[in-house]
Chain A
Amino acid sequence: MPSWPVLASQAFNGLALGTLLALVSSGLTIILGTLGVLNFAHGALFAVGAYTIFVALHYTSSFVLAILIGCVVMLAVGVLLERIIIRFFYDRPDEDQILVTYGIGIVLVECLRASFGGNAQRVPVPSWGQGATKLGFLIYPTYRLQLIAIVAGLLIGLYLVLYRTSMGLVVRAGIENPGMVGILGINVRRAFLLVFAIGVVAVGLAGMLYAPVIAVSPDMGANFMAQSFVVIVLGGLGSFPGAIVGGLIAGEIISLTSAFNSSYSEVMLYALMALLLVLRPQGLFGTEGRA
């Protein structure tokens, strides 16, 4: 049995991982829900985000400025991918969509490898996040605490966009029934571009923010993508609240299981998914709508 400080520390790790998984998965789930495209390039885009801040920090010492530059780059990547490739696949069968996004993922990862080599790079923790913070019974790295707050803030921002703006209204309706959105006079394809770009910026931001706490390598997104697939299945395909709750659950399960035996952490996650699929196939927040 691990000690209480270890468990508490792992619970915080779980929260940090969980909020990040929520951010990654919310991008994946709104793209899937609205566009009907399962984006297999999502993991590669996570890595692209991490490398963007790695490069940007060579030109500026400000972490915040580097993040802003990174967001602009990710926005451009998202818009270009949608306009040049993805939009031609909306009416194609699922397997074509999977193949093309998987292909985009491979190309992106290999571009990173060709440009930066296969070795892990380090992104420094920002100056305002150095050191550790005393939390009474436990001492915890300051940046990781800030990470939880920053990502929670981003998720609230995404929530406000989805639930308090006209564009969010179109996106949520489009997740349920894009055909009816068109019948009500809205050019739903135009909303698709925005949704794809937001999804790409969300996963890119996750990559940027997480870069200082893990090794930055071309393949760093693969594991995250597998976990975020589990998250959106747990939460319900296309559900934004589902991605948040699913992300937090997955993060805690992985981290808390690691406190006992790290080799079981992924096993526990997939076991939970299997159990949930038996008991509630549509996921925690899933509806009968389009998957």
Chain B
Amino acid sequence: MSLLEVDRINTLYGDSHVLFDLSIRVEQGEVVALLGRNGAGKTTTLRSIMGVLAPASGAIRLDGKPIGGLPPSVIAGLGVQLVPEERAIFGTLTVEENLRIAALTAPKAWPLERIYQVFPRLKERRKSAGRSLSGGEQQMLAIARALIRDARIILLDEPFEGLAPLIVRDLVTVARDLAAEGRTMIVVEQNVAAALSFANRVYGLNNGHVVFEGTPADLEANPDLARDFLGVAS
């Protein structure tokens, strides 16, 4: 049984139909990359899994149990954690308060020190207000909030977007370490090279449909598909 199964879901944003019978599965300890052009439905897929959007039909199962239609707070309690594209750091809260509020309802929360070992920069800035952080620091904090909850599956939405190359390199190192430790993740990313450097499997999305499923090597063997449907040149 897969850890997470998304089974033919249809999701709508108001009147516009975004996901069409979309199915993906994620095994325990696996890193899955969702690739595709803008508007392909990558973010909507993550938001549907988190419960921010309720699919109109289809099923989402965690450990075989249906979670579709549950509110985000309940789904988070089951160990699913979205790191949203806009990062959504609480700007008036300090770094440490952002971490503490994330840990509040987690049954097996990490101690702060363990987070600070992964992100030493956050320790230096622990008393700073969230809004004073740089983009890279905000992204570290956003990922750290998922880690401190000891999430079973982390949904990373564009974690490297808008960040300087040096910072992307550091974050990729962290993501690789997490993958090596067996942390299950789904990553949505425009920076295909960065995403493929730690993903085990890839889904290609186009107009709300899955158009490709395979390993990073399979994708490299299919340059036409990558170019035509995914808008990525690998």
Residues in chain A within 8 A of chain B (CB atoms): 166, 169-170, 172-173, 175-177, 179-188, 287, 289
Contact = CB atoms under 8 A, between A and B. Distances in A.
Contact of A169 (B52, B73, B104, B106): B104
A184 B105 contact: yes
Contact of A179 (B52, B81, B106): B52
Interface string B49-91: 0101000000000000000000111001100011010001011
A183 B91 CA distance: 16
B134 to A, nearest CB: 17
Contacts of A187: 71, 73
Given A172-B93, A173-B90, A180-B90, A186 B104 contact: yes
A182 B101 contact: no
Interface in B97-113: 97, 100-102, 104-106
Interface of B: 50, 52, 71-73, 76-77, 81-82, 84, 88, 90-93, 97, 100-102, 104-106, 131, 145, 149
Contact of A185 (B73, B100, B131): B73
A169 B92 contact: no
Contacts, number: 72
Contact of B131 (A183, A184, A188, A287): A287
A161 to B, nearest CB: 15
A289 to B, nearest CB: 7
A172 B92 contact: yes
B100 A169 contact: yes
A65 B88 CA distance: 45
A239 to B, nearest CB: 9
A173 B93 contact: yes
Contact of B88 (A166, A172, A180, A186): A180
Nearest to B151: A185
B99 to A, nearest CB: 10
A182 B90 contact: no
B101 A184 contact: yes
A182 to B, nearest CB: 4
Contacts of B82: 183
Contact of A180 (B84, B100, B149): B84
Please give me the 5 A-B residue pairs with the lowest Cβ-Cβ distance, nearest first.
Answer: A185-B76, A185-B105, A180-B88, A182-B72, A182-B73
A186 B100 CA distance: 12
Contacts of B50: 183
A180 B146 CA distance: 12
A169 B94 CA distance: 10
Given A173-B90, A177-B88, A287-B131, A184 B71 contact: no
A175 B73 CA distance: 17
Nearest to A288: B91
Given A169-B97, A179-B52, A184 B92 contact: no
A185 B93 contact: no
Contacts of B81: 183
A173 to B, nearest CB: 5
Contacts of B76: 182-185
A182 B72 CA distance: 6
B52 A183 contact: yes
Residue of A170, A182, A185, A287 contacting most chain B CB atoms (<10 Å): A185
A142 B76 CA distance: 54
Given A184-B145, A184-B149, A185-B76, A166 B104 contact: yes
A105 B91 CA distance: 34
Given A184-B76, A287-B131, A176 B105 contact: no
A101 to B, nearest CB: 25
Given A169-B100, A183-B52, A186-B105, A176 B71 contact: no
B92 A176 contact: yes
Contacts of A184: 76, 101-102, 104-105, 145, 149
Contacts of B106: 185
A39 B145 CA distance: 33
A169 B71 contact: no
Given A180-B88, A183-B84, A184-B145, A173 B72 contact: no
A81 to B, nearest CB: 24
10 contacts: A166-B100, A166-B101, A169-B93, A169-B104, A176-B90, A176-B92, A183-B76, A184-B76, A184-B145, A185-B149
